[in-house]
Chain A
């Protein structure tokens, strides 16, 4: 398997613009997670899905952030409008369902480095 795929790898945008980050999880994985990594706050869980359904979005910072998972092989994280303080590396991760071999381990994508000017 190719692992978790994220696009774009780098994104530079101006304040106020809409930004969409994309993720393709590992085939067969039931859970998908979105994280944000910054120097100040470290690694934060934003939202996660189980079988395409959002389970916990308590980490989403504001209404400007939204995430969708229309099918088992694709998810998006959208920021509208973007602000300079959204600059960070955004990671997507996926894992198997609980109780299956190898469960609990999350596989991370390479991340999208977002810069909002």
Chain B
């Protein structure tokens, strides 16, 4: 069975500091990996995804994540955060095992950026 572990439930950080949100997964088949972001009182939005190819994927607002197969990790990083990055971030895994597009979400990491 697949599972996703987000190692930190909350991450406080000062504005313009770097941040890393950690995500580990377990799966016995090939996986596709995602980071979603949820701003207060909103639905989830896709931040970035890894399907195949380059193991380093980037979002349009400066986040990046690296797929590490040997460590079964997909950590999210940003070199300099802004107040507006305050949100909850969810790591998710999907596989084609069984032939359907089912996402398994982690518990989420609440990123709080302070001035």
Query: Which residues of A are in contact with B by a Cβ distance under 8 Å?
Result: 4, 31, 42-43, 45, 48, 50, 55-56, 91, 93, 95, 98, 103-111
Contact = CB atoms under 8 A, between A and B. Distances in A.
A31 B108 contact: no
B29 interface: no
A21 B103 CA distance: 22
B62 to A, nearest CB: 20
Given A104-B32, A106-B103, 20 more contacts: A31-B101, A42-B105, A42-B107, A42-B108, A43-B44, A45-B102, A50-B100, A55-B100, A56-B102, A91-B44, A93-B43, A95-B101, A98-B99, A98-B101, A104-B51, A104-B101, A105-B49, A108-B36, A108-B44, A110-B42
Contacts, number: 52
Interface in B42-86: 42-46, 49, 51
A104 B105 contact: no
Chain B interface size band reads: 20 to 34
A16 B44 CA distance: 30
Interface in B90-112: 90, 94, 96, 99-103, 105-108
Most buried by A among B46, B49, B101, B108: B101
Contacts of A43: 44, 90, 105, 108
B25 interface: no
Most buried by A among B44, B49, B100: B44
B34 to A, nearest CB: 7
A108 B49 contact: no
A56 B103 CA distance: 13
Contacts of B101: 31, 95, 98, 103-104, 106
15 contacts: A42-B105, A43-B105, A48-B102, A50-B100, A55-B100, A56-B100, A56-B102, A98-B99, A98-B100, A104-B49, A104-B51, A104-B94, A107-B46, A108-B44, A110-B41
